[in-house]
Amino acid sequence: MSRLIPSLLVAASGLVAMTGCAPTTSTEQTASAAPVRQCVFQDQIQSFRVRDQALYIRGSGKTVFQLETASYCPDLESAIGIAFLPQRGMTSLCTGDWTQVVPTGAPPITPCRVRVVKRLTEAEVAALPARDRP
């Protein structure tokens, strides 16, 4: 039995040595591979348009973001304005974020859960029908 323990230790140290040779990714590679989150500050939203379950918002300048509702939001289509409910102190909306949008001017006002899908390129904005461009 005393011979078994040293051989297990040798085998275990061999496994440790083998895992030490396994390829690893550096922090720089991981950071450069991570997608850049694009954001818009909530107080910079200038206009919006709704089409089915898509909500397009225009931030400052020419930035346009596509948001997607989690379910059908009938109040959103007849809203004359929108407001975002602050989530955990968020002041900006970034791709991948979830928040709630509240339609204004169309009772009853029911908040809708939305996710920021992406920032549209200028070509994608130009490809939107005129009625959908914010």
Mean pLDDT of 33-41: 77
> CB-side exposure of 18: number of CA atoms within 13 Å?
6
Task: Pick from 25-29, 36-40, 98-102 the range whose average pLDDT is largest.
Answer: 98-102
Question: Could you report the per-residue pLDDT of 74-118, keeping only the tens digit for each?
Answer: 888 888 888 888 777 778 889 999 999 988 876 667 789 999 999
pTM: 0.69
Tally of CB atoms within 10 A around 82: 20
CA dist list (Å): 24 to 12, 19, 43: 21, 10, 42
SS3 28: helix
